[in-house]
Amino acid sequence: MTTALTPSSLGWLDQEDRRTAQTIRAHGTSNEYVFGDLQKREAPYAYTIGLFGLGHPELLVFGLDPRTSALLLDDVSARVRAGEDLRAGQILAFAGWRHRVAVEVVPNPGEIVFAANSYYERADLHSVPVFQLTYDDRDGRFPWDDGYDTAAWLQPRPGTFRA
């Protein structure tokens, strides 16, 4: 079933696209944050809009609060804008943050990054590409390591999450 867009919702979407474009012009990228519901075990997530315009996949992270998500996405986005070309399997470290992140390919970005696809006028089936930034736990273990101590639903594996 398809929901028809009303003139007011079309106007709102146009305003969001303008806001996103202004943010990208001013800062290089825009971050989209989606609040989860921890009681229902629905992880919050955030992703960038703007890196696809540079020929690079957008970035996605799960399970972090808005501030930490923004700091992480802004740091890694700045690296990309400075010329770093991320690749799947790469491990990134950060000054001032004890965690590392692994770069992973998201096989189903069209089911997650709706605002990015809207901004770039891409159909979900032809989505912008996305890298998931998967962070380690307090002991430096990633979700695929034995003994990983963060709830699996908080940081779903690439391809298992749909918005």
Would you kindly state where each structural domain of the chain is located, as residue ranges? 7-154
Pairs from 6-13 (Cβ < 8 Å, separation ≥ 24): 13/118
Pick the more confident residue, 10 or 64.
Answer: 64
The pTM of the full predicted model, rounded to 2 decimals, is 0.89
For residues 43-48, average pLDDT: 97
pLDDT tens-place string over residues 54-83: 999 999 999 999 999 999 999 999 999 999
